[in-house]
């Protein structure tokens, strides 16, 4: 699949974390119905234009693991796989 987001949009693949209770029970990702807030950037647009008509470069790149606003990005499905698509302003931080 070849994605090319426009402007300051980006595609994020959810990072599913396995959770274990104190007693050692592993909870599957389906145990929680909350939207994920961490993911890996898989496609990045070229950036949006400022008031002077200059393109502003994106501060995230493909491969970055990011924290994003819980209800910022929209969920879409492509070829049976779910992705999140949002704007650069939905990103709160890049994780190292």
Which CATH number goes with the domain that contains 78? 2.30.33.40
Mean pLDDT check: name the lowest of 2-6, 22-26, 29-33.
29-33
- Tell me, yes or no, whether 31 lies in a domain: yes
Q: How distant, in Å, are the alpha carbons of 18, 20, 65, 73, 96 from that of 24?
A: 12, 6, 27, 33, 28
Model confidence pLDDT, tens digit, residues 38-57: 999 999 999 999 999 999 99
Rg (CA), the chain: 15
Residue 41 belongs to some domain of the structure: yes
What is the domain count for the chain?
1
- Statement: residue 18 has pLDDT above 80: no
| Residue span of the structural domain in which 45 resides | 9-16+24-61+70-95
SS3 content of the chain, % helix, strand, coil (to 5): 5, 40, 50
| Residue 3: inside a domain | no
Rounded to an integer, the average pLDDT of 50-69 is 95
Q: Are 7 and 47 in contact (CB under 8 A)?
A: yes
């Amino acid at each position: 699949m070849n994605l090319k987001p426009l402007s300051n949009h980006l595609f994020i693949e959810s990072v599913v974390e396995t959770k274990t209770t104190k007693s050692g029970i592993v909870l599957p990702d389906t145990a929680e119905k909350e939207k994920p807030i961490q993911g890996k950037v898989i496609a990045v647009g070229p950036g949006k234009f400022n008031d002077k008509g200059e393109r502003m470069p994106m501060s995230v790149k493909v491969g970055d693991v990011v924290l994003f606003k819980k209800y910022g990005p929209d969920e879409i499905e492509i070829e049976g796989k779910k992705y999140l698509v949002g704007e650069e302003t939905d990103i709160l931080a890049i994780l190292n």
